[in-house]
Chain A
Amino acid sequence: MIEAVHLTKVFTDFWRRPKVRAVNDVSFAVRAGEVFGLLGPNGSGKSTTLKLILGLLHPTSGRLRVLGRSPRDVQTKKRIGYLPEDTYSYPYLNARETLTFYGMLFDLPAGVRRERTAQLLDMIGLRHAQRRPVGEFSKGMARRIGLAQALINDPDLVILDEPTSGLDPIGCRQVKDLIQTLRARGKTVLLSSHLLADVEDVCDRIAILYNGQIRAQGTIAELLEQKSQYRLTLPELPAAALQRILAAARAELGREPVVEHPRRDLEAFFLDIVAQARRAAPEAGGVGPSAGVARYLTADEQLRKLVVPPKT
């Protein structure tokens, strides 16, 4: 889907003198159907790499192919969905008009545009705010609109720059669920983030950038697995049985093994509490409950379209 070979981007000043080498001899490939993460601290070259892939910047040297073509080819852009780091939307348009506008840029027929806009507004929980100008939205709400516009064309390649930035834990979870849904449908996702937990949750492969260069690249398992250690998780056991197991481990290791109760992660706990609160007070303001991933983005919807014959 994406092939970068010795990609380099040097920013120059007005007199064309080199100023910053933002991307330095980077090579990587993103395969169809995988979720690829670009990781790195601020200023490491993640956003510059994404902008090169999107055709917003031109490489100084190296070779870059996206979906088999130049990133600046209109045919390439038809198959890409892009969520930028900040949502650069038109402040005087409301949520529905914003999605309609981007749908028109993809030349979607009016009926498809209407249907997808409605589904996306349900998905991001902003149907109740669809007539409000986007300029009045909170950062999280604007971010959700940004995400929705990135999906209006049902893209084959989704490029997400800091997708969970500005989102509450519910929004973060929804984004991660969405990415997994897209992967299940064979879509390719390229995301850049410095939130390591998010990347670990959803990415198949990652590349870590620092100072414009790739320092590590591979699958999450390859990079993170510590093959010299094991973790043993046991169900609740009678005290005597546990003592027998520990004694065996102690004898084998020659030292005391680490024993502790596993903890739920904070995200799961938070989502549980909010779900309970929402059941108790369903008319709360802000972002409404999500209706789940938009139907047209799910595999079921695609199958339904294949199986159900069109009306004559």
Chain B
Amino acid sequence: MKRVWAIAGIAVRNAVRSRVVVVMLGLLLLAIVGLPLTIKSDGTVSGEVQVLLRYTLGAVTILLSLATLWAGCAAVAMEVQDRQIHLVMTKPVRAGELWLGKWVGLMTFNAGLLVVAGAVTYGLLLWNLRGERANPQVREEILVARRVVRPEPSPVYSIPPGRAVRFTFRLPQTPVADRPLILRYRFASSLTDKNPVACVFVAGAPARADRWQQQQFSAPGGVHTLAIPPALVGADRTLTVDIGNIHPVPLTMVFDPRDGLAVLSYAGTFAGNFARTLAVVWCGLGFFAAVAVTMGSLFSLPVAALVAGEVVLLAHIGASLRTLAGDESWLRGVYVVLYWLTKPWQMPDPLAKLATGELVSWGWLGAVGLWQVLVCGGVLAAVGTWFFNRRELGLPA
């Protein structure tokens, strides 16, 4: 491991002394401070917080991803071009140690920058929520980590006029007593107007005498929330919710089976969620770094950067590929193949979860780390090492 640390140390030292770190810090701080001033929120404190968390951290992620791709490709390709590799590979250094050293150096650099960017964003968030701006809505809906529980599959997701439909939510843990459960819902209406629709929500087991009931006027298309007392959850951790359509004008309420209904239960603090989200972002950067170092081991810098960019782009346009694969285009077959090839890398956006107060769980972080860093990184390392071992480093320029 001494050789790996030595190579990683060189990468970090070069980044610091060539002022790459200073430039990157400058760009990141500019994005963190400048972006919230240029993007318009909905005018509420919640909106401002969501812009800061989603778009600012999103910009940080994009900047670090681009820097990682470039630096990763350059890490080996430039050393081959400038022939510093002649002095390294004539020492007892294995190709795998070189690959790992470059990756570790890059990820140390990323970790440092991500910690600074995260700390500044968090500081800015606290400053933004000083005094009365930290209202209960922000605290309960955004500055929290809530587990999202979808209803058990139901044969019906549409509610005709004057009818009610029952949905059952099976919670993985007993809810915290002093934290309300949040029912989040969104529906479409069979009418074209967007006037609020009268509906009624009844929560609790049907046999209970103390069932909770709330009448609501909710606009179709919007996301709405309702606080439900956690005591209504049964001993088997099941929550039953009946939704009734009581609108005076006949219309049908239609819930999207994928994200039309969910119960959010308290699962932890915002600080922990924030840290785990940054860790998921870091794992994503680990995958980018692995792609880039491998490409840099195989090709010259311009070719490596181009190929690595293409690979990362393909891996992250899964949603678009899915849409394209559904079209009746003569390229449909290509899109279908690309969609299935890139499917393993398609995952929910952790920043979207953080900005809506959804839990980024340890389990998810572990799965992302295992898949993106260990499995994908390991395969890329093996490919990069195998080809690098066969490469002639002393060829004339």
Known contacts A84-B87, A88-B82, A89-B84: does B92 contact A106 (CB below 8 Å)?
yes
A133 and B392 CA atoms in complex are apart in Å by 30
Question: Are B13 and A80 in contact, CB atoms less than 8 angstroms apart?
Answer: no
Pair A105/B83 contact, Cβ less than 8 Å: no
Interface flags for A11-52 (1: CB within 8 Å of B; 0: not) read 100000000000000000000000000000000000010010
Cβ of B329 < 8 Å from any Cβ of A?
no
- Contact: B90 with A77, CB < 8 Å? yes
A54 touches B92 (CB 8 A): no
| B50 → A minimal CB distance (Å) | 41
B91 touching A57 by the CB < 8 A rule?
A: no
Who on chain B is nearest to A80 by CB?
B90
- Are A102 and B392 neighbours in the complex by a CB distance under 8 Å? no
Contacts of B56-112 to chain A: CB distance below 8 A: 82-94
Q: List, in ascending order, chain A residues with CB within 8 A of B90's CB.
A: 54-56, 77, 80, 82
Map CB proximity to A onto B1-43 as digits: 1 under 8 Å, 0 otherwise: 0110110011001100110000000000000000000000000
| Cβ B2 vs Cβ A104 within 8 A | yes
B363 CB within 8 Å of chain A: no
Q: Chain B's nearest CB lies how many Å from the CB of A93?
A: 7
Closest Cβ of chain B to A52, distance in Å, is 8
Which residues of the partner chain A approach B3 to less than 8 Å between Cβ atoms?
104-105, 107
By a CB distance below 8 angstroms, the chain B residues around A58 are 392
Contact with B along A60-101 (1 / 0, CB 8 A): 000000000000001101101010101011101100010001
Name the residue of chain B whose CB is nearest to the CB of A78. Answer: B92
Q: When the two chains form the complex, which single residue of A48, A75, A89, A133 contacts B87, counting CB atoms closer than 8 Å?
A: A89
| Complex alpha-carbon distance, A107 and B395, angstroms | 28
Most buried by B among A54, A57, A90, A106: A90
| B18: A residues at CB distance < 8 A | 92
Q: Is A119 located at the chain interface by the 8 A CB criterion?
A: no
Count residues of A near B (Cβ-Cβ below 8 Å).
31
CB–CB B2/A107 < 8 A:
yes
Is B396 in contact with chain A by the CB < 8 A criterion? Answer: yes
Q: Is the CB of B87 within 8 A of A93?
A: no
> Separation in Å of the B96 CB from the closest CB of chain A?
11
Q: In the bound complex, what is the Cα–Cα distance between A51 and B85 (angstroms)?
A: 13
Q: In whole Å, how far is A223's beta carbon from the nearest beta carbon of chain B?
A: 29
How many whole Å from B391's CB to the nearest CB in chain A?
9
Question: Is there contact, CB below 8 Å, between B10 and A101?
Answer: yes
Chain B residues with Cβ below 8 Å from A11 are 395-396
User: Do A54 and B394 form a contact, CB below 8 Å, given A88-B83, A90-B14?
Assistant: yes
Instruction: Across the interface, name the chain B residue whose C-beta is closest to A92.
Output: B17
Is B393 among interface residues, defined by CB-CB distance under 8 A?
yes
Contact status A105-B88, CB under 8 Å = yes
A149 within 8 A of B: yes
Check B86 against A105 for contact (C-beta < 8 Å).
no
Q: What CA separation (Å) do A149 and B91 show in the bound complex?
A: 10
Q: Given A51-B394, A92-B14, A56 and B84 touching (CB < 8 A)?
A: no
A90 contacts which chain B residues (CB < 8 A)? 10, 14, 84
Min CB gap B252→A, angstroms: 65
State whether A88 and B394 are in contact (beta carbons under 8 Å apart), knowing that A78-B92, A104-B2 are contacts in the complex: no
- Residues on A with C-beta less than 8 A from B2 are 104, 107
Tell me, in angstroms, the Cα distance from A104 to B5 when the chains sit together. Answer: 9
The smallest beta-carbon distance between A66 and chain B, in angstroms, is 11
Q: Which residues of B contact A149 (CB under 8 A)?
A: 87
B87 near A56: Cβ-Cβ < 8 Å: no
Complex-state Cα separation, A133 to B94, whole angstroms: 27
**Nearest chain B residue, comparing its CB with the CB of A51:** B394
Docked-complex contact B395 and A57, CB < 8 angstroms: yes
**Nearest chain B CB to A59's CB is how many angstroms away?**
10
CB under 8 Å from chain A, chain B span 341-397: 392-396
Residues of B within 8 A of A74 (CB): 92-94
Q: How far is the CA of A139 from the CA of B394 in the complex (A)?
A: 22
A92 to B12, CA, bound (A): 11
Q: Residue among B9, B83, B90 with the most chain A CB within 10 A?
A: B90
Return chain B residues, CB-CB under 8 Å to A102.
87, 91
Cβ distance A200 to chain B, nearest Cβ, rounded Å: 27
Is there contact, CB below 8 Å, between B91 and A77? yes
Pairs across A and B, CB under 8 Å, 22 listed = A55-B89, A56-B394, A57-B393, A74-B93, A77-B91, A78-B92, A90-B10, A90-B14, A93-B10, A101-B6, A101-B9, A102-B87, A102-B91, A104-B5, A104-B6, A105-B3, A105-B6, A105-B93, A106-B91, A107-B2, A107-B3, A133-B17
Report, nearest first, the 6 A-B pairs whose CB atoms are least far apart.
A56-B394, A51-B394, A104-B6, A92-B17, A105-B91, A57-B394
Interface, chain B (partner A; CB < 8 A): 2-3, 5-6, 9-10, 13-14, 17-18, 82-94, 392-396
Sample of 5 further A-B pairs with CB below 8 A, known A74-B92, A88-B87, A104-B6: A57-B395, A101-B9, A102-B91, A104-B2, A105-B6
